[in-house]
Structure 1
Amino acid sequence: MEAPPTVYEMVGGQRFFDDLVNHFYDAVQGDPILRPMYPKDLRPSRRRLAGFLAQYWGGPPLYSELRGHPRLRMRHMPFTIGWAEREAWMAHMTAALATAEVADDTGTPLPDEIRALMFQHFDNAATHLVNSPD
């Protein structure tokens, strides 16, 4: 019996996550709340997030091979993350998801079920990372 396809496979693999993350970081680039939390060069941040998301959704474990266990809360603890930061992050990721397409060169929109699943994950993770009352 063949295993069902992973989300990673259903969305077109790494390219989907690269595109999603690029759309997200293009918005973060000009965000007055989030931009100060990042280094000047966003390329490493883009690579890390795309790798993490690809792995999380069933892709190869390249993120863990390079960075170890994700330890999201620990990695984000140096930053003050209140509700405003959470909402800004979610606004940009929601916008990126809204325009996301399956990475198959056909312009196929991301299926609603996958979009909803990803939104729920991002919403939960963003709330989990809040470490300041604002």
Structure 2
Amino acid sequence: MSKYQTPYQALGEEGIRKICNAFYDIMDELPEAAELRRMHADNLEPMKVKLADYLTGWMGGPPLYADKHGTVCMTTPHEHYAIGPRERDQWLLCMEKALVATEVEEEVRSMLKEPLFRVADAVRNRPESITNDDPNIIAIG
């Protein structure tokens, strides 16, 4: 039996923001996430805020993202990007490293593992990965 009913209860908004900051810092530096990084704008600061706002509500906290953007649908904002299994897995790798880097308890990491995969897979819009060097692919952010 978990001591937490929601990940938000364990992490709080501050903890989620730390995870998101670490996530984008890791994505920015990790060679294995180069394709994912190229999908983003040079300045990752706005994305750190957006992801933290989204995850705060998604993890059981206040609906910060919905309050600001009016929707929590993640497929529509990502439809212009070529996201296949490789990009999904790069995202998951960066998130796992961020959870470890911010010292999230193993219980909470286990609680998040399957739901994070489902979210990452839900924005996948290609059956296979393609090279994101295509000039028609717009950067996120």
Verify same fold: TM over 0.5: yes
Whole-angstrom distance in 1 between the partners of 2:10 and 2:85: 32
Counterpart in the other structure of 1:130: 124
Whole-angstrom distance in 1 between the partners of 2:63 and 2:117: 23
Percent of residue pairs bearing the same amino acid type? 30
Gaps of 5+ in 1: 102-109
Gaps of 5+ in 2: 130-141
Query: Which aligned pairs between 1:1-134 and structure 2 lie closer than 5 A?
Result: 6-11=6-11, 13-30=12-29, 31-101=33-103, 110-132=104-126, 133-134=128-129
The amino acid across from 1:131 in the alignment is N
Whole-angstrom distance in 1 between the partners of 2:43 and 2:62: 25
1:5 Cα deviation after fit: 5.5
CA RMSD, 1 decimal: 1.6
Large movers: runs of 4+ above 2 Å? 4-7, 98-101, 110-113
1:86 Cα deviation after fit: 1.0
1:32 Cα deviation after fit: 1.6
TM-score by length of 1: 0.82
TM-score by length of 2: 0.79
Range with greater deviation from structure 2 (30-39 or 19-28):
30-39
The amino acid across from 2:27 in the alignment is V
Indicate if the aligned counterparts of 2:8 and 2:61 stay in contact, CA closer than 8 A: yes
Pairs aligned (count) = 122
